[in-house]
Structure 1
Amino acid sequence: MIRNKDTYPLQPPRERGTGRALALAVIMHVLLGLFLYHGIRWQNSTPAGEEAELWTEVPDLSTPRPVPPPPAPVAPAPPPPQTEEADIALQQLKRKQQQEAAREAQLAEQQRLKAQQEADAKRQQQLAAQQAAQLALQQKQAKLKQQQQQEQQQAAAEKLKQQEALKKQAQEDAQKQAKLDAQKKADAEKAAKAKAQADAQAKKLDAERRARIAQMQGSMGGGTGTSGNGLAKSGTGSGSGGNAASPGYADKVRRRVRPNIIWAGETAGLETEISVHCSPSGTLLSATISRSSGNSQWDDAALRAVQRSDPMPVDTDGKTPSNFKITLRPAS
């Protein structure tokens, strides 16, 4: 009947060094047997006789002495009896020696295993400590790398934010500049249009003034040259039109000229003085710039405003002063 190996009772593992212990036990038993054998043989052998020579002084032969008898031979000790108890004792001794040798070998093996286990445990502890240190170093490196990545991301986000802010500012500046350019362009177009309109109006007023002057001269053409001289005198302020204006006449002229000013440019520091020559009825005969503001465009706009104000208002006496000056500034 074949039994499965799993059904056999478990046996303890074979300890190392058992063969060596058995060999040492056999050698000890052989040596012990030889020792016992030689001991028993030595006790069973007959001791050999010994001879000795004694030298003494020459004896006195005159008186002979009796010879002592030889000593009796010593009987050898009887050998120990070879009994079954000696064999049993010898076997027990061998067994005891074998057990002691096995126990010593087992104890040595246990000590070796214990030392090996302690060394393995110490080595495992060192390995665990190294692994823990390496893991801590890796975690520290990972944390440092993560921190660096976060700082880089924050720097990139800040840089992107700054770029977006600069881009937005640039767009706003471009829009403002575009609005300013458009406003300047519109102002320039408006100024050009106003100038064109003013030029046309001035030409129209100049044509009308010339026509009125021609009409007045035609109506006075049948007179003598004294009338012409009187007109000339009027023009110079020495005639009846040259009377001094009343204190409130300047306000009348200002109220008349102000609505006709068309100006969309700068207003700071601009002041123009215009000399006006009128007929007693207020017809504008001439208008010239006597003191410029330094800005030719504003000077032209002020001159056009005066030309549009024809005829000029009459004074309290019902006549317009022949010569006076008007100082104009742009409305702020």
Structure 2
Amino acid sequence: MIRKKSEYPLQPPRERGTGRAFVFAVLMHLLLGFFLYHGIQWQNSTPEGAEAELWTEVPDTAIPRVPSPPPVPVAPAPPLPDEQADIALQEKKRQQQEAARQAQLAEQQRQQKLQAQQEAEARRQQQLAEQAAQLAAQKAATAKQKQQQQQADKLKQQQLAEQQKQQQLKEQQQKQAQADAQKKADEQKAAKAKAQADAAAQAKKVDAERRERLAQMQGMAGGAGSTGNGLGKTGTGSGSGGNAASPGYADKVRRVVRPNISWGGETEGLETVISVRCSPTGTLLSATVSHSSGNPAWDDAALRAVQRSDPMPQDIDGKTPASFKITLRPAG
């Protein structure tokens, strides 16, 4: 079967004289082996010096000399093969070399592919490890950030709660202060109202006592005025409380009222009678002009003098008469 040229691989051009060179190389190797063999045999032979020492005690005739072995005949070179055998041998050798080269190339390619796969796998594993490390770092950073945010939120809530607590406490204190102030104001108001009520009750009681005493005095002896005179520079006055007052009570009233009279006008013919109502403690309850002198200025001066004399002196019994009249004349 004839194959096409395209089925055969490309081959280098065949060199001439290859068979002769091969035969010449074989012949040279055989000669080299022969010379090496005889050289080793010559080195292994017994030296003559050692044989001479042994021969000193034994006669030379007793030891026969061993003849050296004859040289090995050189094998004739094999007949040179013909040109077809040489071509077949060279082709077979070339095919073997080519097969070996292809196998080595395939092994190299396999090793390179395996190495590339290993390197790719190593790179993939490294990338996976780096990605895993990055993911772990991101998770750790996210967890840390979340923890910090939680701590910040917790601290903020605590601060807000503390502020609310302080605000509530402040409001409670304000309310308590307002309540205390209101309570104090209510207590003061109540005390003031009580004092006013007590004063009103006391005034009513005093007025009732005064009216009762006045009624008794009017029922027993009636009201009577008394006159008196004085030599004071500013004016004179006298008074009595009727039969209920002691005889010396008029002098007590005079000594109290006389320093309070202030008058610089005319003095002739002026006389004013002032009706007075007092509490048992001497407090002046009322003072009115019951008989005018005809001079309103003097009447006002006399009335002011009585009002300035509040409280009126008490009698010998420790009480002030409920009502009496005071007659006042300017000093002349």
Normalising by the smaller structure, the TM-score range is 0.3 to 0.5
Q: Which has the larger radius of gyration?
A: 2
